[in-house]
Chains A and B, each alone.
Chain A
């Protein structure tokens, strides 16, 4: 596609439920990043994929968070047993090679945990 896409655009869930967020990067981009932005706060790094491997997952806040990437394309971020503090906008970005070049951001998924 022309840009990075994410789905769903909005998600409301109940505390304790699991959620899956999807990211479709720009075709041919080998690097994929997940970030989180809580209301009124700055962006936080969560995880970085190079191809289907995740050499840096140091930003995942707890073991309730996991992510995978398949086919060097689509990535899924899963949050298990959601908590209210997980409410945030989850942003995905991709770049051509992961060498620090320009990252292209998706529109984000707004997650609200009630």
Chain B
């Protein structure tokens, strides 16, 4: 069992839909990161969370430390949101442990 598990692995949505991607982890962490990997391969950091909730534009990330669970929400989804979304946790030192990623496709 991976230390970081994401669901779903693949997600297809219609433009405008509300999207949720989930991340569960099995170790104690000091921070959780959500990353976005574009089709060309470039990786962008979206959020770093250690508690509560953060919002940036149409993206919202939440974390429940007691339940070892985080969610990434996208409101009013758009085709340009199509990408792989990756959850990563920092559990000791500075290294990150990554989930397998969720491939999101938003159709117009």
Contact = CB atoms under 8 A, between A and B. Distances in A.
B50 to A, nearest CB: 8
Nearest to A91: B43
B interface, size bucket: 20 to 34
A45 B96 contact: yes
Contacts, number: 58
Nearest to B97: A45
Interface in A42-90: 42-45, 48, 50, 55-56, 58-59, 89
Contacts of B94: 31, 33, 48, 50, 55-56, 98-100
Nearest to A97: B94
Interface of B is mostly: strand
A interface, size bucket: 20 to 34
B25 interface: no
Contacts of A108: 41-42
Interface in B33-68: 33, 35, 41-45, 48
Given A42-B100, A56-B94, A100-B94, A107 B42 contact: yes
Nearest to A46: B95
Given A43-B88, A58-B95, A103 B41 contact: no
B96 A103 contact: yes
Given A105-B44, A108-B42, 13 more contacts: A43-B88, A43-B96, A45-B95, A45-B98, A55-B94, A56-B93, A56-B94, A58-B95, A89-B41, A99-B94, A105-B42, A107-B41, A110-B41
18 contacts: A31-B94, A33-B94, A42-B86, A42-B98, A42-B101, A44-B98, A45-B98, A48-B93, A50-B94, A55-B94, A99-B94, A100-B31, A100-B90, A102-B45, A103-B96, A105-B45, A108-B41, A110-B41
